[in-house]
Structure 1
C-alpha cells in the first residue's frame, strides 16, 4: 500500500483525558508522522502521515480514544501525503475562538 495523509477533528470528551499523549504514543508505535493538538472549541485535531494501513489503524484507534475519553464524532479529510514531518508530536493548543 502507498502513502496516505488524513486530517481528523475529534469531538466528545477528548480534552483533559490525556488524549494527545495517548495519540502521540499510538501514532509513534505505528510509525506515523504528524501532530495532535487541542482546539479552543473542545475538539482535538490530528494530522497523520504514513502508510495507508497505519493511517487507517490510527483512525480506528481515534474513534475509540484512550480509556477515559468519550469520542462522539471523528471528521476525516483525506489529503495528498506531503512527507513534510519527520516525527509525530504534540503541538501547542490552537488559540482563538469565535469572532
Structure 2
C-alpha cells in the first residue's frame, strides 16, 4: 500500500487521558499533519481518535500518541493505543474535539 494513499484509522487511546487537555493536544497535532476527524472521550476513560488523511500522516499521529516520553509535551499518560484501519470516508472536514 502506498503511504500517500488516503486512509482512516480509529485509535483507542488508553491511560490517564481525560481532563488533562489530551483531546486539544491531539487536535493540534492532527491539524499540523493535515488530517481530518475527531477526538472524543469515551465513558470508560479512553479517548477515541478518528483520523483520516494520507496513511503516512495517520501513522505519524499514532506514533505521537504512543510516544514515551512525549517530546511535544503531550498531556496525560498514555499506556497503549489500539488502531483499526479502514477505507476513507467522504465529506469529512476539519478535526474537532467532541
**TM-score class, shorter:** 0.7 to 0.9
Pairing partner for 2:48 from 25, 45, 48: 45
Count of aligned positions:
91
CA RMSD of aligned residues (A): 1.3
TM-score, normalised with respect to structure 1: 0.86
Gaps of 5+ in 1: 92-99
- In structure 1, the residue corresponding to 2:29 is in which secondary structure? helix
TM-score, normalised with respect to structure 2: 0.86
Pairing partner for 1:23 from 4, 23, 26: 26
C-alpha displacement of 1:68: 3.3
Separation of aligned partners in 2, 1:68 and 1:79: 27
- In structure 2, the residue corresponding to 1:68 is in which secondary structure? coil
Aligned to 1:96: none
